[in-house]
């Protein structure tokens, strides 16, 4: 039944995203979406862009949005690349930087899309085991690597590296691209942006899906040296000239322009995270210290799958992986306070 | 200056899309955009989708849109794949079907993105010269190919194959995927959709950028056997789970639902095309018979580059390629009647 398929994809196991339920209404704590709406100006900007102009192609270079992001982050527009979600940006990174002879390295416990990209693009990789407490053994990432890829904070653990550790990664891999996936950085970790001046091999990847509550719009970006950004553009322009549509460009721009809303949004999520982590611990859970908009937690008396299924039966979706070392853990997105109270009530009934 | 780049992309020459002018206002006949706005319901549907829901990921399977396209084209939803513009769909085709040992074949004069995809994904290809009059020598496409890729109508010539010829391509390459790029088919050519029942190796790729005036929204799709569609899904889900954002899904759905507007739109474009082709011939141009929303024309006394530059100086953008066999030709998108009158006036002054 795979007639006509290219050989490489016949054995591919694609990435499985968290369930997007249809029909029944769940409390959705399974895909790290933001529980609050995007900045109010986003809707107005999109509505204004939704007219006759749609007949024209979008700006393939996202000039206005890149200028706004450059100003926001204190870099030049030539240091900014925008893509159709950070997943696309990461896929382009594999092609732009990791298709050499040497393996790219990433942790054994991390965003499970990474090995899928590697398989799709024929990139060798080497998994580096996290320490027992899920901290990153930085020394093991230094050396003759074909590239380094690391989320900070890491997913699904939520644990963050400090800036010194990121700097050791960049300095210790001077001939390889070091890609820091900062999808969750706005919820409390230190950004590697501060290191860009000194490390031309360092690339920071961001998404607007989480802290800017724009998962439905598909906008991600990368910031790094003009040389690395040119590499991403080379791949992008060999694949799809216009990856970011007019509405996404307009909406993302409006989000960047509302700093007060952004700060208030992330503050609320972090506040709820702190409270819920303490309440989970009071219920007997072990909770990883999280700098992200999710909590990674296990219970000594109840398996991960058991709790996943129990919560689902009570109308609460969380995420679980059938994978060594973490099969007792749940990843729980931080929702509104009301949603988290419902989660905690459901857990109390299950335990 | 290409430090850290993967070896393969260091020699890549990306695709160059037609200019998207900033600042000065041009009569834009260079990227085959539709001169009329999208269906009125599109704007309303996008505006309705631009609220709080943007915080949630889109449906990764585009379920509603695929169901609507399936009903529209008389196939099942499992036979429909939706992507972020047909350029993305074509890129996925290269990975899904063309990464075998044998070369994929396409014409020497065709959409100039095809060889770029091949280079990016390391796919061997063989160019098959069009006949002198730019018709397709179908027999030359039959045999031991690793895949067949052909636009119908072809770009930038505008010439179409009839259904019998497409059928010979599909029947004569029984072990390879035969991808018919129908970006322009709504402007008068016969669709290969009618053959799908008999040829499991046949895939039809469509875009909403041209006949549905939605270039700014980035929606393309493919229709074929469930097996081929599963191959595209395998690659897509190994690259980017959510390629089509919420607004694009909503807008595209509204477009499909307004058949009367769609028919009127394509009728107007075809009517203008017929008139302008005759007027160009009256000016001494040789004009390819076009079934697309553009005209491919050359003048015995004036080179293509000369006319391109002359028209630009008069505020009219058209497309020209510095490429053997077609360097005397211009590709002129069909605009409104007013825009085409301005083009004809400018040409009269230049000749």
- Residue B21 is predicted with a pLDDT of 84
The dihedral through the CA atoms of B298, B164, B114, B173 has a sign that is: negative
From the candidate CATH numbers 3.30.70.890, 1.10.240.10, 3.90.1150.10, 1.10.260.40, the one assigned to the domain spanning B19-37+260-350: 3.90.1150.10
What pLDDT was estimated at residue B101? 84
Task: Compute the average pLDDT of residues B76-99.
Answer: 98
The pLDDT assigned to B24 comes to 75
Q: What are phi and psi of B348, to 5 degrees?
A: -60, -40
Tell me which of B20, B23, B46, B50 to substitute to probe the interface with A (most A C-beta atoms closer than 10 Å).
B50
Residues of B within 8 A of A87 (CB-CB) are 239-242
Domain A18-37+260-350 matching CATH 3.40.50.300: the answer reads no
Listed by number, the residues of chain B in 239-268 with a beta carbon closer than 8 Å to a beta carbon of chain A are 239-248, 251
Read off the pLDDT of residues B289-320 as tens digits, 9 standing for 90 and up: 999 999 999 999 999 999 999 999 999 999 99
- How far CA A261 is from CA of A268, B127, B244, in Å, comes to 11, 55, 26
Query: Quick check: A20 and B59 CB within 8 A?
Result: yes
Which helix or strand (DSSP H or E) is residue A343 part of? helix A337-350
The pLDDT value given to residue B276: 98
Taking CA atoms, B259 is separated from A33, A342, B35, B191, in Å, by 36, 46, 18, 17
Three-state SS for A162-195 is CHHHHHHHHHCCCCCCEEEECCCHHHCCCCHHHH
Please determine, for residue B18, whether its predicted confidence score (pLDDT) is greater than 90: no
pLDDT for B220: 98
* Confidence (pLDDT) at A213: 98
Interface check A1 vs B, CB under 8 A: yes
C-alpha distance from residue B35 to each of A50, A170, B171, B338 (Å): 16, 50, 38, 10
pLDDT of residue A24: 75
Does B220 contact A at CB distance below 8 Å?
A: no
Looking at the structure, give the CATH architecture of the domain made up of residues A40-257. Answer: 3-Layer(aba) Sandwich (3.40)
Query: Alpha-carbon torsion A44, A48, A54, A57, what sign?
Result: negative
Give chain B positions within 8 Å (CB) of A116: 238
Q: In chain B, what residues touch A50 (CB-CB under 8 Å)?
A: 42-43, 46-47, 50, 247, 251
Write down the mean pLDDT value for chain B. Answer: 97
- Distance separating alpha carbons of residues A130 and B187, to the nearest angstrom: 58
Q: Does B216 touch chain A (CB under 8 A)?
A: yes
**Mean pLDDT split into 10-residue runs, chain A, 351 residues:** 89 90 88 97 98 96 98 98 98 96 96 96 97 98 96 98 98 97 98 98 98 98 98 97 98 98 98 98 98 98 97 97 95 98 98 92
The sheet carrying B147-151 orders its strands as: B80-83, B220-224, B202-207, B178-181, B147-151, B104-107, B125-128
Tell me whether residues A216 and B57 touch, CB distance under 8 A: yes
What kind and span of H or E run contains A253?
helix A246-256
Q: What is the pLDDT of residues B134-156, one digit of tens each?
A: 999 999 999 899 999 999 999 99
By the CB < 8 Å criterion, does B47 face chain A? yes
- Model pLDDT, residue A201: 98
User: Of A270, A279, A306, A241, which Cα lies nearest the Cα of A84?
Assistant: A241
pLDDT-derived band of residue B22, with 50, 70 and 90 as boundaries?
confident
Q: Tell me the pLDDT tens digit for each residue of B192-217.
A: 999 999 999 999 999 999 999 999 99
Q: Could you tell me the residue ranges of all domains in chain B?
A: 19-37+260-350, 40-257
The tens digit of pLDDT for each residue in B38-59 reads 999 999 999 999 999 999 999 9
CB–CB of A96 and B9 under 8 A?
yes
What part of B 67-106 touches A (C-beta under 8 Å)?
84-85, 87-88, 91, 95-100
């Amino acid at each position: 039944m795979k007639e006509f398929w290219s050989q490489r994809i016949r054995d591919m196991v694609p990435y499985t995203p968290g369930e997007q339920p249809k029909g029944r209404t769940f409390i959705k704590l399974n895909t790290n979406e933001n529980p609050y709406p995007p900045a109010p100006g986003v809707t107005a900007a999109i509505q204004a862009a939704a007219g006759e102009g749609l007949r024209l192609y979008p700006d393939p270079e996202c000039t206005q949005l890149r200028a706004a992001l450059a100003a926001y982050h204190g870099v030049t527009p030539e240091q900014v690349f925008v893509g159709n979600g950070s997943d696309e940006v990461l896929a382009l990174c594999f092609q732009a930087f990791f298709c050499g002879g040497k393996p790219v390295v990433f942790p054994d416990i991390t965003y499970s899309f990474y090995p899928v990209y590697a398989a799709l693009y024929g990139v060798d990789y080497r998994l580096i085991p996290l320490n027992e407490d899920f901290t990153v053994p930085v020394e093991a990432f230094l050396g003759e690597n074909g590239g380094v890829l690391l989320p900070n904070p890491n997913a699904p653990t939520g644990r963050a590296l400090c800036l010194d550790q990121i700097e050791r990664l960049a300095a210790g891999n001077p001939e390889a691209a070091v890609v820091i996936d900062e999808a969750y950085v706005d919820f409390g970790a230190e950004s590697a942006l501060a290191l860009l001046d000194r490390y031309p091999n360092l690339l920071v990847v961001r998404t607007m899906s989480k802290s800017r509550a724009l998962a439905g719009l598909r906008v991600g970006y990368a910031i790094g040296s003009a040389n690395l950004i040119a590499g991403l553009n080379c791949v992008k322009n060999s694949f799809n000239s216009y990856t970011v549509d007019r509405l996404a460009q307009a909406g993302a721009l409006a989000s960047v322009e509302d700093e007060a809303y952004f700060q208030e949004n992330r503050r609320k999520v972090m506040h709820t995270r702190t409270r819920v982590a303490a309440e989970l611990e009071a219920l007997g859970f072990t909770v990883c210290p999280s700098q992200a908009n999710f909590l990674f937690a296990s219970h000594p008396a109840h398996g991960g799958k058991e709790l996943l299924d129990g919560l689902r039966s009570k109308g609460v979706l969380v995420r679980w992986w059938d994978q060594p070392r973490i099969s007792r853990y749940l990843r729980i997105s931080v929702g509104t306070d009301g949603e988290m109270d419902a989660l905690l009530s459901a857990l109390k009934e299950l335990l």
